[in-house]
Homo-oligomer: A and B are copies of this chain.
Amino acid sequence: MTDTPEEIARASADTMWAADEASRLLGMEIVEVGPGRAKVSMVVRPDMINGWDVCHGGFVASLADSAFALACNSFGEVTVASGFDIALLEPAHAGDTLLAVAEQRATRGRTGIYDVTVTRTDGAGPATIAEFRGRSHATGRPIKGAP
């Protein structure tokens, strides 16, 4: 009996997320995961604010990075980030709910390119907060616990 790509994606996410203390520290929640894609949400808390009274750019990047990690590991193979670029377009504030939507853009051999858009879904109205592009490297090792 073969598992579907959707089942492999969910099982891979379950394995990773169970051990992901960092995403938990920032209160992230998985909204959706599938083959090559993931959605993760986060509410900006007062302790995520930087010296200019907006959400720390590194925390916006962390949210995008978590969605990227779920998306690039969704095929059941341990895959790591080799780097990423983020454009910070609009600040997020305490109380805002942010949604990161990750999608695979291209792959070539063990290298993958994933785009993540972070939007504000409430607060001062919908807006694009950041555009993130991740570079992934597949290790060739299967994810334990994934079917």
Residues of chain A at the chain B interface (Cβ within 8 Å): 15-25, 46-53, 55-59, 61-66, 69, 73, 78, 80-91, 105-106, 108, 111, 113, 115, 117, 128, 131, 133, 135
What are 29 A-B contacts with C-beta separation under 8 Å?
Answer: A16-B51, A16-B52, A18-B51, A20-B49, A20-B51, A22-B58, A23-B50, A24-B47, A25-B25, A51-B69, A52-B78, A56-B65, A56-B66, A57-B62, A57-B84, A58-B61, A61-B62, A61-B65, A62-B62, A81-B88, A82-B88, A83-B135, A84-B86, A85-B85, A87-B106, A105-B117, A108-B128, A115-B115, A131-B133
Complex contacts, A111 vs chain B, CB 8 Å: 82, 87, 89
